[in-house]
Structure 1
Amino acid sequence: MRYYSIVALLGLVALTGCGADTKSGEVKVQGTVSIDGQPVPTGSISFVAVDKSTPTGGGVIKEGNFTGYTMQGEKKVLIVGNKIVGQVKLYDTPDSGMRDKYESIVPPVYNAVQLTPLTVTIDGPRDDLSFELDSKAK
């Protein structure tokens, strides 16, 4: 019984330590994202650790600008971008409200970990990140 108590206590200490270490390397990142020279209207940006040692971080893109948080290290950058192309009904009824209809404007190559050509090293807070995408990228 004593053995199991010690193992449980060590497990609890290890888990607590992991939580503290995870937060210690998180930094603020800011920058811009454009496609074919135009700001990405809305979307998201993710920073995935190349060595898979830290959680994925990121933020929201609005009018080509983003602010987010990520852990330090070498990252693959994933970007999803959309634009509003009209409106659609919320329900199939005559008095239905409307919502914006979005269309993806970023090629799949930029939002797949195995394919993305985008990488960046995060070694502290950054406010100078800039990603220029090509709509014809494959």
Structure 2
Amino acid sequence: MNFNRLASAFSVCLALVALAGCGSSNELPRASVRGMVLLDGEPLPEGIIRFVPTGATKGPKSFAEIRVGMFKVDKQYGPIVGTHRIEIISTDDGGFPEDDEEAFKRMQEQGITKIDKITVPAAYNKRSQLTESVTPEGPNDFNFELSSNSKQKKN
């Protein structure tokens, strides 16, 4: 087999592999989501909301950043259509990351003995029983009212 035939055969194989990955009918349907997260009646300053498929819904988890209580994800990166367990965490570190030794030194120099940071109870993240159904036609507007005393409440 000469070099030209080998190169042509390789090009055809490469094109077939590329085409096989395009427009697959096995793509999972996704939807956009948005909403608000309140903790003790106030917007959660910063955090992450996760959509974890549950029950008959199969597929990857998805997440969105929470900024001043609001979250939004476009369809391209949104959760798959179906039922999801919702996990909400705060990413507030009180201005002093736990693994930052320089920040720890600054904290000691400033006489700070306690870091005030906002935490979301485990009842809303690791042990969350919050669920939502994401629909293809929407609107997928979800609002969550969380309480520091761990009682789950969804609005």
| TM-score, normalised via structure 1 length | 0.68
- Given candidates 42, 47, 50, the residue that maps to 2:46 is 42
Mapped pair 1:85 → 2:89: no
**1:103 CA drift (Å):** 2.9
Deviations 1:96-133 (A, max 9, x none): 8xxxx773420011112xx2121000012435210111
**In the aligned structure 2, how far is the partner of 1:74 from the partner of 1:127?**
12
Cα distance in 2 for partners of 1:105, 1:67 equals 21
Q: What does 1:43-58 align with in structure 2 at a 5 Å threshold?
A: 43-51=47-55, 53-58=58-63
Counterpart secondary structure, 1:121: strand
Indicate yes or no: 2:42 matched with 1:28. no
3-state DSSP of counterpart to 1:54: coil
Q: Higher strand fraction: Structure 1 or Structure 2?
A: 1
Counterpart residue number, 1:137 = 150
Give ranges in structure 1 of 5+ residues lacking alignment.
Answer: 1-11
Give the distance between the partners of 1:66 and 1:82, measured in 2 at CA.
Answer: 14
**Structure 2: gaps of 5 or more residues:** 1-16, 107-114
Instruction: Tell me the distance in 2 between the aligned counterparts of 1:21 and 1:67.
Output: 25
Q: Which residue of 1 aligns with 2:14?
A: none
1:26 Cα deviation (Å)? 1.2
Letter in 2 for 1:58: F
Instruction: Tell me, yes or no, if the aligned pair for 2:94 and 2:118 is still in contact at 8 Å.
Output: no
- Residues 50 and 62, structure 2, Cα contact 8 Å, conserved in 1: yes
5 Å-filtered alignment, 1:81-120, equals 81-87=90-96, 90-92=100-102, 103-112=117-126, 115-120=127-132
CA distance in 2, matches of 1:72, 1:91: 43
Q: CA deviation at 1:67?
A: 0.9
Larger Rg: 2
TM-score, structure 2 as length reference: 0.62
What is the CA RMSD across the aligned residues, in angstroms? 3.1
Q: Which residue of 1 aligns with 2:65?
A: 60
- Matched-pair identity in %: 26
C-alpha separation between the residues in 1 aligned to 2:131 and 2:33?
14
1:80–1:104 CA contact under 8 A, matched in 2: no
Given that 1:47 and 1:57 are in contact with CA atoms closer than 8 Å, whether structure 2 keeps it comes out as yes
